[in-house]
Chains A and B, each alone.
Chain A
Amino acid sequence: MVPYQTGINSSESVSRLLMNNSLVPLLKERFRTYGYMETCTGTFQDYDLYSSVVGTVHQRDMIKTIDPSGEVNVLRPDVTIPIAQQMAATETIPRRQFYVQDVFRVSGDKNRHKALTQAGVECFGENTHENDAEIIAMAAHILQDLQFNQFKIVISHASFFRELLNQLPLTPEQSEQLQELIQSKNMAEISPFLKNLPIGKELATAVEAIPMLYGSPEQVFAKAQTISMNSTMQQAIANLKNISSILKAYGVDDAVVFDLGMINYMNYYSGVIFQGYVTESSKPVLMGGRYNDLVEQFGKRMPAIGFGCFADRLLEALEKDGKPPVMESPVQLIIYYDQDSVNQALATAGSLRDDGFRVVTVNNNRGTYPETAQLGSAVMTTDHYLLNHQGKQTTFRTADDLKTLLKMEMREN
Chain B
Amino acid sequence: MDYLTLALAKGRTAEDSINLLNKAGIHFDSLTEDSRKLVFHDDSNMIQLIFVKAVDVPTYVENGAADLGIVGKDNIMEEQPDIYELLDFQFGKCKFAVAGFTGTELDTNKTLTVASKYPNAAKKHFHRKGIPIQTIKLNGSVELAPIIGLADVIVDIVETGNTLRENGLSVLEEMEAISTRLIVNKASFTTKSDSVHTFIHTLKNSLE
Contacts and interface: CB of A to CB of B under 8 A. Distances in A.
Q: Do A and B bind each other?
A: yes
Interface stretch (B14-22, B31-39, B142-150, B187-195): B187-195
B190 A154 contact: yes
Contacts of A152: 190-191, 193
A173 interface: yes
B191 A151 contact: yes
A188 B181 contact: yes
Contacts of B83: 184
B128 interface: yes
B56 interface: no
Interface in A151-198: 151-152, 154, 173, 183-189
Interface stretch (B45-53, B84-92, B166-174): B84-92
A187 B64 CA distance: 22
A188 B88 contact: yes
Interface in A95-127: none
Contacts of A277: 186-187, 190-191
A150 B85 CA distance: 23
A257 B84 contact: no
Contacts of A32: none
Interface stretch (A33-41, A241-249, A279-287): A279-287
A110 to B, nearest CB: 15
19 contacts: A150-B191, A152-B193, A185-B84, A185-B86, A186-B84, A186-B85, A187-B86, A187-B87, A188-B87, A189-B88, A278-B191, A279-B188, A281-B64, A281-B187, A282-B63, A282-B186, A282-B188, A283-B82, A283-B186
Nearest to A177: B128
A279 B190 CA distance: 9
B62 interface: yes
Contact of B128 (A150, A173, A184): A173
A173 B129 CA distance: 11
B128 A279 contact: no
Interface string B63-85: 11000000000000000001111
A284 B187 CA distance: 7
Nearest to B61: A282
Interface residues of A, number: 21
A187 B187 CA distance: 19
A396 B175 CA distance: 86
Contacts of A188: 85, 87-88, 181
5 tightest Cβ-Cβ pairs between the two chains A and B:
A282-B64, A188-B88, A186-B85, A279-B191, A185-B84
Contacts of A151: 191
A1 B53 CA distance: 34
B192 A279 contact: yes
B190 A257 contact: yes
A257 B181 CA distance: 25
Interface in B84-125: 84-88
Nearest to A283: B187
Contacts of A154: 190
B85 A185 contact: yes
A191 to B, nearest CB: 11
B91 to A, nearest CB: 13
A257 B187 CA distance: 12
B185 interface: yes
A225 B181 CA distance: 31
Interface in A250-283: 257, 259, 277-279, 281-283
Given A184-B83, A282-B188, 20 more contacts: A152-B191, A152-B193, A183-B82, A184-B84, A184-B85, A185-B84, A185-B85, A187-B87, A188-B85, A189-B88, A277-B186, A277-B190, A279-B188, A279-B191, A281-B64, A281-B187, A282-B185, A283-B186, A283-B187, A284-B186
A152 B181 CA distance: 26
A257 B197 CA distance: 14
A150 B84 contact: no
A312 B63 CA distance: 15
Contacts of B64: 281-282
Contacts of B87: 187-188
